[in-house]
């Protein structure tokens, strides 16, 4: 245990020294759970979202890290999207209790989608009962996805004042829980309300997701828990919501983020995937594999316009395509979609690029992402 804590402390101290600061405590230390059940892209995007806040340090942590005492080095923990029941099993009872004790001692926790499921008190579902919510209609949890609309409550406007003047906002949603009050002693406050009716897939009933909690927050002992049924970390222009949530959980002063990061006007309409759109999305991936340069660019255009969830798994390799036009469009896609996890690939592609026009596009993409 001591070895793990010492190692994490040294990593944090090295980061601080690189920032020319002698005060480790002035930085907010965030651990993103990277265990079985967490979707890899959700982990990547959560880590990248935290980096938007220049006063935060982020590391991924595993079950063995938690068991070895790594929570002693953290201010907040995030459970990202994926599968909440698998995360429950991966953590095990003792690590679940360690997380509860960590929050109750005055620390923070953010649950994203599956993480929010895990935090709930849901009969028939593996959950740890720390956010006061119960998920309903869990038999249709594969109800669909897309860019969903939500409205802020008055409390939400104080946490996200950058959105307070907007009647409706938009964030990527992917089969998140439908919450109601759980029959327990924990009370939560609704911070945002879901306005989209998502039921295209899985035989889900209509009029179930709309008018339900979208963001909720609650006290747990001396600490706080924030739960989001959706994926701000996967939404261009809205990823900054994640570090803001962390700040709320640990009662830290809110800070402003860059103009490159805060772009709520990118989305002004709901985009919910239909079965026809899922078929078109699959065709796009075939074009990546076997299509002409023009077909690949056409596919990238459609995927970006539709805010495809799965495209992030495919687009990175197009930075090394045989066509300079495709390489340029892939760089634009990565920047526009804020896939900052691919910054190393984008940097390498730019360094290797021999086409002047393509290199200019890549350098512009790098500059934008570094400015977030």
Q: What is the pLDDT of residues 226-271, one digit of tens each?
A: 999 999 999 999 999 999 999 999 999 999 999 999 999 999 999 9
Q: From CA 52, how far away is CA 72, in angstroms rounded?
A: 24
Res. 13 pLDDT band, cuts 50 70 90: very low
- pLDDT of 181 over the 70 cut: yes
Q: What is the pLDDT of residues 123-170, one digit of tens each?
A: 989 999 999 999 999 999 899 999 999 999 999 999 999 999 999 999
CB 138 within 8 A of CB 84: no
The CA distances from residue 276 to 270, 335, 344, in Å, are: 16, 27, 34
The residue-averaged pLDDT of 305-330 equals 96
Residues 173, 145 contacting (CB under 8 angstroms) = yes
Measured CA to CA in angstroms, residue 158 lies from 152, 166, 246, 289, 301 at distances of 9, 13, 15, 47, 36
Residue 180 phi/psi, 5-degree rounding, is -135, 175
Q: Which residue has the higher pLDDT, 258 or 200?
A: 258
Q: What is the 3-state secondary structure (H, E, C) of the chain?
A: CHHHHHHHHHHHHHHHHHCCCCCHHHCEEEEEECCCCECHHHHHHHHHHHCCCCCEEEEEECHHHHHCCHHHHCCEEEECCECHHHHHHHHHHHHHHHHHHHHHCCCEEEEECHHHHHHCCCCCCCCCCCCCEEEECHHHCCCCEEEEEEEECHHHHHHCHHHCCCCCEEEEEECCCEEEECCCCCCCEEEEEECCCCCCCCCCCCCCCCCCEEEEEEEECCEEEEEECCEHHHCCCCCCHHHHHHHHHCCCCCCCCCCCCCCHHHCCCCEECCHHHHHHHHHHHHHHHHCCHHHHHHHHHHHHHHCCCHHHHCHHHHHHCCCHHHHHHHHHHHHHCCCHHHHHHHHHHHHHCCCHHHHHHHHHHHHHHHCC
Q: How far is CA 60 from CA 64, 65, 77, 79, 112, in A?
A: 12, 9, 10, 10, 15
- The CB-side HSE value for 237 (13 A sphere, CA atoms) comes to 15
**What CA–CA distance (Å, rounded) separates 83 from 22?**
39
Copy the structure tokens of residue 157. 């406007």
Name which of 47, 10, 50, 5 is nearest 28 in CA terms.
50
Domains of the chain: 2-266 (3.40.50.880), 274-370 (1.25.10)
pLDDT at 69 over 80: yes
β-pair partners for 105: none
pLDDT score at 359: 98
The pLDDT of 193-200, averaged and rounded, is 96
Mean pLDDT for the stretch of residues 330-340:
98
Bridge partner residues of 31 (DSSP):
59, 77
Q: How confident is the model at residue 12 (pLDDT cuts 50, 70, 90)?
A: low
Percent of the chain having pLDDT more than 70?
93
Structure tokens at 191: 């911070």
Residues in the chain: 372
First to last CA, the chain: 36
* 149, two tokens: 């609309």
Query: What is the rounded CA–CA span in Å between residue 229 and residue 282?
Result: 26
The pLDDT value given to residue 3: 47
- Burial class, 205, CB count within 10 angstroms (exposed 0-12 / middle 13-18 / buried 19+): exposed
pLDDT of residue 25: 66
Residues 6+ apart with CB under 8 A from 86: 36, 37
Task: Look at residues 203, 99, 189 and name the one whose alpha carbon lies nearest to residue 143.
Answer: 203
d(CA 164, CA 314): 35
């Amino acid at each position: 245990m001591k070895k793990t804590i010492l190692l994490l402390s040294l990593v944090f101290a090295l980061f601080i020294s690189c920032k020319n600061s002698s005060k480790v405590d002035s930085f907010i230390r965030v651990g993103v759970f990277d265990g079985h059940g967490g979707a890899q892209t959700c982990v990547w995007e959560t880590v990248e979202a935290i980096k938007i806040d220049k006063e935060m340090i982020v590391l991924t942590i595993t079950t063995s890290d938690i068991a070895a005492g790594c929570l002693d080095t953290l201010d907040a923990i995030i459970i990202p999207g994926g599968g909440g029941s698998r995360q429950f099993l991966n953590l095990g009872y003792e690590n679940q209790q360690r997380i509860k004790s960590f929050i109750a001692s005055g620390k923070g926790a953010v649950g994203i989608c599956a993480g929010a499921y895990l935090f709930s008190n849901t009969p028939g579902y593996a959950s740890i009962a720390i956010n006061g919510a119960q998920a309903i209609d869990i038999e249709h949890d594969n109800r669909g996805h897309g860019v969903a609309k939500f409205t802020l409550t008055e409390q939400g406007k104080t946490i996200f004042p950058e959105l307070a003047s907007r009647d409706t906002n938009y964030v990527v949603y992917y089969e998140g829980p439908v919450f109601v009050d759980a029959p327990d002693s924990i009370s939560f406050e609704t911070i945002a309300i879901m306005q989209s009716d998502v039921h295209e897939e899985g035989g889900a009933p209509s009029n179930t997701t709309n008018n339900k909690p979208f963001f909720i927050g609650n006290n747990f002992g001396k600490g706080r828990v924030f739960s989001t049924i959706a994926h701000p970390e996967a939404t261009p222009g809205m990823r900054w919501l994640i570090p803001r949530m962390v700040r709320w959980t640990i009662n830290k002063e809110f800070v402003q983020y860059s103009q490159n990061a805060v772009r709520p006007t990118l989305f002004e309409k709901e985009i919910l995937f239909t079965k026809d759109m899922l078929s078109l999305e699959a065709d796009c991936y075939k074009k990546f594999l076997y299509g002409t340069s023009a077909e690949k660019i056409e596919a990238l255009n459609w995927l970006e316009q539709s805010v495809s969830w799965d495209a992030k798994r495919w687009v990175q390799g197009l930075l090394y395509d045989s066509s300079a036009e495709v390489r340029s469009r892939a760089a634009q896609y990565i920047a526009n979609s804020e896939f900052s996890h691919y910054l190393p690939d984008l940097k390498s592609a730019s360094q290797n690029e021999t086409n002047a026009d393509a290199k200019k596009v890549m350098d512009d993409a790098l500059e934008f992402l570094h400015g977030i």
